[in-house]
Amino acid sequence: MKGGHDLGGQSGMGPINPEPESQEPVFHAEWERRVFALTLATGMLGKWNIDESRHARERQDPITYIENSYYENWLEGLERLLQEKGLLAPDELAGNAVISDTDSAVQVPDPQLASKILASGASSEREARSEALFSVGDRVLVRSSEGTGHTRAPRYVQGMNGIVSAIVGCHSFPDSNAVGVHEGATLYRVSFLGKDLWGTTGANSEVLVDLWEPYLSAGIS
């Protein structure tokens, strides 16, 4: 979906002025630390996956998304998931009702396992069920996405031609994973000329983007 979260390459947004990494704190306030911990702990319940979590944040009103801080968007997404998965009722979330007993089917998160996953991540690799459609060196076109579902194809490369520079393997397809359908698709590293994406400001630059096979079709010369 082309929502408020997909701002890469958009004009009129002003310059990016990040804090120097040496000076930026991990959390800017204690509540951010708590939101991070809550998101990690509830994710360990096994009720949703990372793509469902991302899509929950993306489904906010675009203006709200842009106005929110990073962890405010995390909290918005978490509240949505807790309600959609039946773990909290709206009145419970609002503090107007006593939270009901925990679902007996919900597994209490293991702190040690959570720490391990946080430190090393989890693999998204899947068993390939078909041969890769494209080869290194092939010219490919990124399909335009007009739906409301989750996608990992940035808006700034949609409709653009690129060259396959590597085949990364078969990995979980985010668009399907976001709706609970667990399937893999070939993942490619695609090279784009900066001038094609950014005009003269991108001259003499190259942009590499990892893109799944369903995002691609044969390129146009």
Give residue-wise pLDDT tens across range 166-196: 999 999 999 999 998 999 999 999 999 999 9
143, part of any domain: yes
The torsion angles phi and psi of 190, rounded to 5 degrees, stand at -115, 135
Three-class SS state of 54: helix
Give residue 214's domain range: 139-218
What's the residue count for the chain? Answer: 221
pLDDT bracket for residue 44 (50, 70, 90): confident
112, part of any domain: yes
pLDDT at res. 146: 77
Tokens 């079709």 locate to: 217
Q: What is the DSSP code string of 181-200?
A: ---EEEEEEEEEEHHHHHGG
153 burial via Cβ count (<10 Å: 0-12, 13-18, 19+): buried
Three-class SS state of 39: helix
Please give, one letter per residue, the 3-state secondary structure of 74-119: HHHHHHHHHHHCCCCCHHHHCCCCCCCCCCCCCCCCCHHHHHHHHH
Over residues 118-123, the mean pLDDT reads 76
Structure tokens at 74: 């995390």
100 and 143 belong to one structural domain: no
pTM of the full structure: 0.85
91 and 164 belong to one structural domain: no
Number of domains in the chain: 2
Instruction: Give the pLDDT confidence of 139-164 residue by residue, as tens digits.
Output: 999 999 877 889 999 999 999 999 99
Q: CATH no. for residue 196?
A: 2.30.30.50
* Domain's final residue, options 120, 155, 182: 120
212 and 168 belong to one structural domain: yes
Instruction: Give the pLDDT confidence of 77-111 residue by residue, as tens digits.
Output: 999 999 999 888 888 888 776 766 655 566 666 77
111 and 163 belong to one structural domain: no
pLDDT at res. 22: 85
Tokens 């203006």 locate to: 63
* Domain's final residue, options 76, 93, 120: 120
46 burial via Cβ count (<10 Å: 0-12, 13-18, 19+): exposed
Q: CATH no. for residue 95?
A: 1.10.472.20
176, part of any domain: yes
pLDDT at res. 187: 97
34 and 115 belong to one structural domain: yes
